[in-house]
Amino acid sequence: ETGVTQSPTHLIKTRGQQVTLRCSSQSGHNTVSWYQQALGQGPQFIFQYYREEENGRGNFPPRFSGLQFPNYSSELNVNALELDDSALYLCASSWPGTGDNEQFFGPGTRLTVL
Which residues lie near another protein (CB under 8 A)? 31, 33, 35, 37, 40-45, 48, 50, 55-56, 58, 88, 90, 92, 94, 96, 100-108, 110
Residue 61 CA: distances (Å) to CA of 30, 43, 45, 78, 109: 25, 16, 12, 10, 20
In the complex with another protein, which residue's Cβ is closer, 86 or 96?
Answer: 96
Under 8 Å between Cβ of 104 and 93: yes
Shortest Å, Cβ 99 to another protein = 9
In the complex with another protein, which residue's Cβ is closer, 15 or 97?
Answer: 97
Amino acid identity of 45? F
Shortest Å, Cβ 72 to another protein = 14
In the complex with another protein, which residue's Cβ is closer, 50 or 69?
Answer: 50
Mention every residue, 6+ apart, whose C-beta is less than 8 A from residue 72. 25, 29, 30, 31, 32, 93
Stated length of the chain: 114
Shortest Å, Cβ 16 to another protein = 26
